[in-house]
Structure formats: C-alpha cells, structure tokens
Structure 1
Amino acid sequence: MDNKLLALDYPVLNIFWTMLELFLWVLWFFLLFKIITDIFRSHDLSGWGKAGWLVLVIILPLIGVLAYLIARGAGMGKRDVAQAEQAEASFKAYIRDAAVGGTPPEGGGRSHVDDLARLADLKDKGAISDEEYQKAKDKLLV
C-alpha cells in the first residue's frame, strides 16, 4: 500500500524534471572545470589575469562562466587543438625513438644507429682507418 502512495506522490513528469536538473548540474560542473583548466593552461594570460578570471568564475559562477565564454571562448578550442597536436607529436616522437632502439642521448637528437651510420660513412670515404672505426664502434656499442 505504501508503494502506491509513493508513486502517486511523485508523478512521471517530476521524475523527468529531476533528471533534467541532474543533467544540467553535471553539464554545469563539466563546463566549470573545463574553464578552470583552460585558465591554467592559457599561456597568453599573466598570473594576475589567471587569478582574476579564477576569482570571477568561483565567486560569481554564472556571470564569470558566461563572461569567460564570451571573451575567451574561441581560444578554448584552439588551445585544445594545440594541446592535442602537441601530445600526438610527442607520442609519435616517442614511438620513433623506441623503434630506433632507445631514446636519443641528452641534448642531441641522434641515436646510436645514426652514429654508427656516420662512422661507416667516414670509413668508406677513407677519413678514418679500420682501427679507428673499430675503436669508435666498440666505444658506441658499450
């Protein structure tokens, strides 16, 4: 008997309204966190600018979020694309270095394979002798 009363006290339209409110709250917090991360990621804002936007977004959330979207909304997409391209380039460079046989030495963009190829080229041109080639090769492979 109590279940029937509960169903009558909370009609279906109220359930849909509650679901809509929950969805809007989740959307609002997603947008708020997206804007906060964009504030910190932005390199063209000074420290004071970041602090100002952050205070505005936290203290007056509705006005702050709308003002940020109007003033800097177009740049948000560009910064997202730039970060994605940078992450993809870093990933491709990592894969390329791993395929060559390890990460390149600090400060240089060369690997041991490049150094060995250069040594073989010097030996073929006659710039170094066989003994010098063997010593340099042993030094690289150790």
Structure 2
Amino acid sequence: MNNHVNLAWDFPLLSAFLVTVWIFLWVIWLVLLIRVIGDIFRDHDLSGGAKVGWLLFVIVLPFLGVFVYLTKRGTEMAKREELRSRRSQEEADAQVRAAAGTGGTSGADELTKLSDLKARGEITDSEFQQAKEKILH
C-alpha cells in the first residue's frame, strides 16, 4: 500500500493555484529580462563593448546577469525610462498643438489678433464675428 501523499494532486484547487503562481512568476521574469535587454540596447552611455559584455552576461547567466544589472544600473535605468517617457509626452503634446492649429497660442491671443485685423480694416465685421465664434467654441 502506498502512503505517499501528493498535496498538489490531492487538492486540485491547490494545484491550480500553484500553476497560476508559477506562470505569473515566469511572465514577470520574461518581462524583466526583456526590459533589461532593451535598456542595454537603448543606453547611449554604454560603449559597444560594454553592451556586448552585459548582453552576454544576461544571456549566459540570465538570473544572475539580470540581478547584477539591476543592482549596478537599476537607478540609471529608471531615470532613462522617466526621461524617455517625458520626451514622448512632450512630443505628443506638440503634435496635438500642431494638429489643433493653435501653435501654443491662447484664445485671448487669437482674439487680440482678430481685433487688430478688424481695426486695420483687413477683415469685415461679419468675418470678425465668424472668426470670433470659431475661437470661442
């Protein structure tokens, strides 16, 4: 008679939980590995030889390589990611301003320009009213 007890198979819910935990840990590990390799390639401060060295270290000894990389360069990695994010946001804001056609000017600036054009007689009262409605809405 076999008295060996396998808790994971005797309790299917526990087995499902353990499988879920393992899958979760592997996904986290893969995301971390991809982020570290991406940071190695995107870092402009590293020379080509240093990039090859870090990449070989991370590929040959992945767990140790990633943990050493995060220990030595993790703070700089976070700063580079924040800088990339900030630049990306600034570019997106500039594109939105360009698409809106405002170029960063406010409605008050536009109204001032319109009133100057009207005062010089370059636009009529009806053109002024139409442009004013566009700006205000």
Aligned to 2:97: 96
Aligned length: 97
Gapped regions of structure 1 (runs ≥ 5):
1-7, 103-116, 118-123, 125-142
Q: Normalising by structure 1, what TM-score?
A: 0.61
CA distance in 1, matches of 2:39, 2:26: 20
1:31-50 residue CA offsets vs partner (Å, 9 max, x unmatched):
00011111111111111111
Gapped regions of structure 2 (runs ≥ 5):
1-7, 104-112, 114-119, 121-137
1:112-134 residue CA offsets vs partner (Å, 9 max, x unmatched):
xxxxx9xxxxxx9xxxxxxxxxx
Instruction: Point out 4+ residue stretches in structure 1 off by more than 4 angstroms.
Output: none
Q: Which has the higher contact order (CA 8 A, sep 6+)?
A: 2
Matches within 5 A, 1:32-47: 32-47=33-48
RMSD of aligned Cα (Å) = 2.3
CA distance in 2, matches of 1:38, 1:48: 15
Letter in 2 for 1:98: A
Letter in 1 for 2:100: A
Q: Normalising by structure 2, what TM-score?
A: 0.63
Aligned to 1:75: 76
Identity %: 42
Letter in 2 for 1:37: G
